[in-house]
Amino acid sequence: MKGFQWALAAVGLVLGIMLAFQFRVTSEINKTEPVQRTQLLASQVNQLKVDRDFLQEQVNSLRSDFDQISGGPRDSELKENLENARILAGVTELSGPGVEATLNDSNISLKPGENPNLYVLHDEDVLRVLNELRAAGAEAISINGQRILASTEVRCTGPTIVLNRDKRLAPPYVISAIGDPDTLESSIKMKGGVAETLQFWGIQVGVKKMSQVTVPAYSGGTKFEFAKAAS
């Protein structure tokens, strides 16, 4: 019996030494750089998977919100407001019924001593026509293919005019305007109006109603250096 107990004690001692040796070997292996780096990378991979799942949930949520907005009743309203803003800004080509007015210098032969400036078009003449068309409800206007905006200036530079800062135009000036053709034509041809005044000096003024007029988009740049939206 006593020998059996010594045998069990010896076996236990051997197992203890083996377990201690195995634990020490495993600990040493885990402390080596390759193993530590592998463990670090595995931890980073797991964290990236967590982050990816979180971001995917956000993407799904945003996509769902976008689908609801784009398919909702406000979608058409937002698109309409955006299109109206683009039209008012002049960055969209427009077409519709209207008139085409052609202005050209006088073809009257000058008599000796007459002032030639009275028989040629000036910036104020063009501006008078533009103002009459605007007052008559013109929704879009261009001169020789150049879109007229609220900020467009018209000024004389010798025998030509300059508008939109650097667009130099020479007569004849073809003014295209979209609006009610009858109203626009009457605004220029009315008795005592701009056409009659210019024709007195031989300035050539022609107005024709059009079923389809095309006014191009504004081609210049726009920059606000001082103006800002009021808060």
Please list the ranges in the chain whose pLDDT falls under 50. Answer: 2, 4
Same domain, 114 and 35: no
**The two three-digit tokens of residue 95, written as one number:** 């077409």
Structural domain includes residue 206: yes
Beta strands in 127-190 (DSSP E): 140-143, 146-147, 154-157, 160-163, 167-169, 173-178
Rounded Cα distance between 126 and 157, Å, is 13
* CATH number for the domain that contains residue 129: 3.30.70.1880
Same domain, 200 and 108: yes
Same domain, 61 and 108: no
Same domain, 124 and 47: no
Same domain, 142 and 39: no
Q: How are beta strands 160-163 and 167-169 bridged, if at all?
A: antiparallel
User: Exposed, middle or buried, 224 (CB in 10 Å: 0-12/13-18/19+)?
Assistant: exposed
Rounded Cα distance between 104 and 80, Å, is 39
Structural domain includes residue 28: yes
User: Exposed, middle or buried, 93 (CB in 10 Å: 0-12/13-18/19+)?
Assistant: middle
**The two three-digit tokens of residue 74, written as one number:** 């406000």
Could you give the C-alpha distances from 220 to 25, 87, 151, in angstroms and in order? 78, 15, 11
Structural domain includes residue 64: yes
Same domain, 56 and 134: no
Structural domain includes residue 225: no
Same domain, 97 and 201: yes
SS3 call for 97: strand
Structural domain includes residue 14: yes
pLDDT of residue 4: 45
Same domain, 202 and 132: yes
Rounded Cα distance between 85 and 83, Å, is 5
Residue 100: Cβ within 10 Å count = 16
**The two three-digit tokens of residue 165, written as one number:** 């800062």
Same domain, 193 and 139: yes
Tracing tokens 């135009």 back to the chain, one arrives at: 169
Same domain, 38 and 120: no
Structural domain includes residue 38: yes
**The two three-digit tokens of residue 130, written as one number:** 């533009």
Structural domain includes residue 129: yes
How many structural domains is the chain composed of? 2
Alpha helices (H) along the chain: 2-31, 33-70, 73-89, 123-135, 181-189, 194-200
- Contact, 176 vs 141, CB < 8 A? yes
Same domain, 116 and 168: yes
| Domain extent at residue 42 | 2-68
Same domain, 150 and 97: yes
Structural domain includes residue 86: no
**The two three-digit tokens of residue 77, written as one number:** 């309203």
pLDDT of residue 86: 76
Q: Supply the pTM of this predicted model.
A: 0.66
